[in-house]
């Protein structure tokens, strides 16, 4: 259980706190960061641009042994963000979703808690007239741990990990060699 600050406790108890979802995707050319409020929010040096109610987030399922993905759709996207989405590889990029508690009057961030983390799977873009919509489909980071590693016990993989290490160089030739040992009677003479 987490301890909340006194300001967060007071805001939540009064019922005047504003809950906002912060979404961050790290791309090579820059971050895609939005929030569900109408104002821009700065947290940890990242500006989360206010998208208002122009988007949709699928339900976040939090169950034991459940690693469900998530789908986020945002309409009316800035053309510069569309250019980022079209101009680079999006598969495997890190994505985080946080729940932020804001002060109702000042919109200052009182507390932030991570509610989901994973990697982007696909990011289809649809155009309708002059407006564009991006749908981000991401898989939970737990799925990554359940996949088998693409690493073998071979000299090539050992060289890729540790260049110059020759410990597996003769592994294949030695595994196919039949060694002949003398019988126990030989040592009793």
Model pLDDT, residue 164: 93
Classify domain 6-146 at the CATH topology level: Thrombin, subunit H (2.40.10)
Model pLDDT, residue 2: 62
Sketch the domain layout of the chain as residue ranges.
Answer: 6-146, 150-180
Rg of the chain (C-alpha set): 26
d(CA 99, CA 132): 26
Contacts of residue 16, defined as CB under 8 A and 6 or more positions apart, other chains included, come to: 104, 105
Query: For each of the chain's 189 residues, which pLDDT tens digit applies?
Result: 467 777 777 777 787 778 888 888 887 777 778 888 888 888 888 888 887 656 777 777 666 666 677 888 777 666 666 776 677 788 888 888 888 888 877 878 888 888 888 888 888 887 777 777 778 888 877 776 676 777 888 888 889 889 999 888 888 888 888 888 888 888 886
| CA–CA–CA angle 76, 80, 85 (5° rounding) | 85
Length of the chain: 189
Element (DSSP H or E) covering residue 21: strand 18-26
């Amino acid at each position: 259980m987490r301890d909340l600050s006194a300001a967060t406790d007071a805001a939540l108890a009064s019922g005047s706190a504003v809950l906002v979802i912060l979404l961050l995707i790290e791309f090579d050319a820059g971050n895609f960061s939005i929030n569900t409020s109408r104002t821009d929010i700065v947290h940890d040096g990242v500006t989360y641009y206010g998208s208002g109610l122009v988007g949709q987030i699928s339900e976040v399922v939090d169950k034991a042994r459940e690693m469900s993905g998530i789908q986020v759709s945002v309409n009316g996207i800035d053309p510069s963000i569309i250019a980022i989405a079209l101009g680079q590889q999006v598969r495997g990029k890190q994505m985080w979703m946080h729940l932020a508690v804001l002060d109702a009057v000042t919109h200052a961030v009182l507390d932030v808690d991570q509610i989901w983390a994973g990697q982007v799977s696909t990011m289809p873009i649809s155009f309708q007239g002059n407006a564009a919509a991006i749908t981000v489909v991401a898989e939970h980071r737990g799925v990554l741990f359940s996949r088998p590693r693409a690493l073998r016990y071979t000299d090539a993989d050992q060289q890729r990990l540790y260049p110059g290490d020759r410990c597996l160089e003769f592994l294949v030739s030695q595994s196919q060699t039949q060694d002949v040992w003398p019988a126990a009677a030989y040592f009793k003479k």
